[in-house]
Amino acid sequence: MNSSTPSAPESTNDMILTDDETAEELSADEVAIIFGFLSPYDIMRARVCTTWRDAAKKTLVPPVDPFDLPVEIHDARSYNAIRVMSTALPNLEQLMISKLGSGHVYSDGDDPEEWDIDHINYIIHDINIISSFRKLRRLYLYKVEMHGRNLGLFEFPLLRVLSIRYCHNLKFDLDMLLGLPLLEDLYCSDNEQFTGNISSLSPLKNTLEKVCIQKCRNISGN
């Protein structure tokens, strides 16, 4: 019979200390790989030191199902969160943008229509913050309150999926989509200021797989 006294188990504090020490030994590149398995919001909460903040900037954040906790701008608070992400998490690959809510609008592009008198005192939010997400692969615009033409929305070289729905005052045409050389899926519906001829998409024929354009009366061709 072994009469030796069993050693005491490690305390929780000792275990946490060991984990902390191991974490401190990881490089930013190694942490970035781990961050790639987390949601964008979890990554933002995990930026507890300089190394981990640097890791977040290097992390590729892959797309998810758009209905499964998407990164979305839908009010002033979420806009501010995305504004921080634009520098803290620039390799975001998917973004949804929708209506900001009462009293808030996005900044105008070129050649905007005149706002109604009710909009004069609205708070304006700069939509151009999203240009920092150079690795976007999916972009969804839904009921975006923005007037005029904004080329910055169509200059994402890695974008695969673009969906624009019910953006009645956003001016854009099919020629602008040539700034998306890897575009595979295009969905547009109920956009009154969407113009152009389908033939303009011919330079994208080697990448485009799906095109769905509905209730856009200023689009011609087939």
Name which of 208, 198, 203 is nearest 160 in CA terms.
208
**Of the candidate ranges 57-66, 69-78, 155-164, the one whose mean pLDDT is the lowest:** 57-66
**Comparison of pLDDT for 41 and 17, the residue scoring more:** 41
Name which of 152, 169, 43, 33 is nearest 99 in CA terms.
169
pLDDT per position as a tens digit, 92-151: 999 999 999 888 989 888 888 776 545 668 899 999 999 999 999 999 999 998 888 888
Helix, strand, coil shares, percent, the chain, to 5: 35, 20, 45
Token pair for 112: 């905007």
List strand residue ranges (DSSP E) for 104-209, in order. 104-106, 123-125, 138-142, 148-149, 161-165, 170-173, 185-189, 194-197
Average pLDDT over residues 198-216: 92
What per-residue confidence (pLDDT) applies to 128? 93
Average pLDDT over residues 63-79: 81
pLDDT per position as a tens digit, 209-221: 999 999 998 998 8
The answer to pTM > 0.95 is no
What per-residue confidence (pLDDT) applies to 117? 47
Instruction: Answer whether 143's CB lies under 8 Å from 189's CB.
Output: no
pLDDT per position as a tens digit, 19-65: 556 667 899 999 999 999 998 999 999 999 999 999 999 999 988 76
The answer to whether residue 16 scores a pLDDT higher than 60 is: no
- Band (pLDDT 50/70/90 cuts) for residue 9 is very low
Average pLDDT value for the chain:
85
